[in-house]
Structure 1
Amino acid sequence: MNPTAVTAVGALPAWPYPLWIAHRGAGKLAPENTLAAFRLGAAHGYRMFECDAKLSADGVVFLMHDAALERTTNGQGIGGELPWHALSQLDAGSWHSHSFAGEALPTLEALARFCQANGHLLNIEIKPTPGTESATGEAVARVAARLWAGADVPPLLTSFKPDALAAAQAAAPELPRGLLVDTLWTGWLEKAQELGCAALVANHALWDSAHVARVHGAGMRCLSYTVNDEWVAQHLLALGTDGIITDRVDLFSPS
């Protein structure tokens, strides 16, 4: 399915993704951005996941949120400054709990195999090491285009960094994109349109009826992060938003 195909005159473009998206695999129930987390999120019924992708020093796309290794691995320094062989040896699970000790950092390719084998969908946040925005956007898009070639539903590529999205757009224009925003900075909607985005992914507190109408009127979908409270979810559903990224895979049923 082409997620940007318009189904009717004046209608929003078709949207093949589910409402509920598990943040970093399984929220806080497992070490984020590890295969263990995605397996646990799937066990809770989720069929779409959000992950963070960055670039190793030797050009391998791997999953990790922070630039620095210390919070979520037993390594030190900047992850993107190390080659993949060194990154692949790190323990990315012990920081969370003993039961996940020894869990490895996965590549995007490993996660793609898991998702495709199980019919899961993916939101890949392009999370560049500072200074590598364009290189990371291009690499993530090229790898994703290769891994999901011929897939009915491609991954959604998102980023807070317009330069990363612009590079992704140039490298793989067929993949849908979404601009992430934490504040409504001057020109946010125009930038999303310039980047050919299919979605605007905002801090949930930014959405109101006027902004939802404005984004929908521009032909884009409205997604929210990170929604962990029932009342917030109900508010977003009442506004008619299109996607909810949550840590609370144990609280919200995705069905």
Structure 2
Amino acid sequence: MNTPLPPWPYPRWIAHRGAGKLAPENTLAAFRLGAQHGYRMFECDAKLSSDGVLFLLHDATLERTTDGQGLAGALPMGALAQLDAGRWHSRAFAGEPIPTLQALARYCLANGHHLNVEIKPTPGQEEATGRAVAELLARIWPAAAVPPLLTSFKPEALAAAQATAPELPRGLLVDRLADASPNDGAGAAGAADVQTALRLGCRAMVLNHALWDAALVARVHGSGMRCLSYTVNDEWAAERLVQLGTDGIITDRVDLFSPA
């Protein structure tokens, strides 16, 4: 028996890390640029500093997107805030700092934007990061506003977020489907992942876009969850996902896809 799909208040198009590759990812400059392209929902990556402040960064280490070195989560926010997170991208963004999650949340609230926060913990900090993200957003996000969507590849992080602020919607990120059990039968791809998402009280599953097919979309929708995809940068892939009836598309190509 299928579970009815609850209302889904989010737009289909979601800007990846702010503006994809047009600006230094996970900086406020990127989110402003994404907004200039008409996007009203943004994905970001959040992790904890050594002194317990949530900041935006994808990688565990600093080298790729800043002028710093080493494990990002090993530094206090004061040191992280001094790093240049823009020059690696282009001279136009030199001096752009690493923002806090609170700063991005305030920006989104002030402008009526929606937010998808990927809980991206430093290894070993899964539960602590999940708790911290949920606590912060539950505290500062108005009850009357559309809540942020919390996602993670780490079930432990989602479980901690669920325990801390169960009212905030969650989504399980999946890059590779778990192997089906012999008892699941034919066409059971994704069954184990669906069960994990349901156990975590998720409202959505966010998959590598190539994993979706009609059967899996039907399975997820039939379980009462929405189907989102990352990272979709080609028109043929976007068209396929629309035809499959999926609900959200995360893209770098804010210059190619109109979110209208």
SS of corresponding position for 1:253: coil
The amino acid of 2:30's aligned partner reads A
Give the corresponding residue for 2:186.
none
User: Shift of residue 151 of structure 1?
Assistant: 3.8
Kindly provide the CA deviation profile for residues 98-156 of structure 1, in whole angstroms up to 9, marking residues without a partner as x: 00000000001100111011100000000000011000000011011112132420000
Q: Pick one of 128, 147, 154 that aligns with 2:140.
A: 147
Structural mapping, 1:188-207, within 5 Å: 188-207=193-212
Give the corresponding residue for 1:4.
none
User: Shift of residue 249 of structure 1?
Assistant: 0.1
Using the alignment, how far apart are the partners of 2:144 and 2:99 within structure 1? 21
Structural mapping, 1:1-255, within 5 Å: 11-186=4-179, 187-255=192-260
Shift in CA distance, 98/15, structure 1 to aligned 2, threshold 3 Å: same
Shift in CA distance, 88/239, structure 1 to aligned 2, threshold 3 Å: same
Aligned residues: 247
User: Shift of residue 244 of structure 1?
Assistant: 0.1
Kindly provide the CA deviation profile for residues 178-221 of structure 1, in whole angstroms up to 9, marking residues without a partner as x: 00000111421111000000000000000000000000000000
Give the corresponding residue for 1:5.
none
Shift in CA distance, 159/128, structure 1 to aligned 2, threshold 3 Å: same
Q: Identify the range of structure 1 (202-211 vs 140-149) with the bigger mean alpha-carbon deviation.
A: 140-149
Unmatched runs of 5 consecutive residues or more in structure 2: 180-191
Shift in CA distance, 138/114, structure 1 to aligned 2, threshold 3 Å: same
Asked if the contact 2:3–2:222 (Cα under 8 Å) also holds between the matched residues in 1, the reply is no
Using the alignment, how far apart are the partners of 1:155 and 1:101 within structure 2? 29
The amino acid of 1:107's aligned partner reads T
User: Shift of residue 96 of structure 1?
Assistant: 0.2
TM-score by length of 2: 0.94
Measured on the aligned residues, the alpha-carbon RMSD in Å equals: 1.0
Unmatched runs of 5 consecutive residues or more in structure 1: 1-8
The amino acid of 1:91's aligned partner reads D
Using the alignment, how far apart are the partners of 2:106 and 2:159 within structure 1? 26
User: Shift of residue 10 of structure 1?
Assistant: 5.6
SS of corresponding position for 1:173: coil
Using the alignment, how far apart are the partners of 2:82 and 2:240 within structure 1? 43
Asked if the contact 2:117–2:149 (Cα under 8 Å) also holds between the matched residues in 1, the reply is yes
Report percent identity of matched pairs.
75
The amino acid of 2:208's aligned partner reads N
Kindly provide the CA deviation profile for residues 15-74 of structure 1, in whole angstroms up to 9, marking residues without a partner as x: 000000000000000000000000000000000000000000000001000000000000
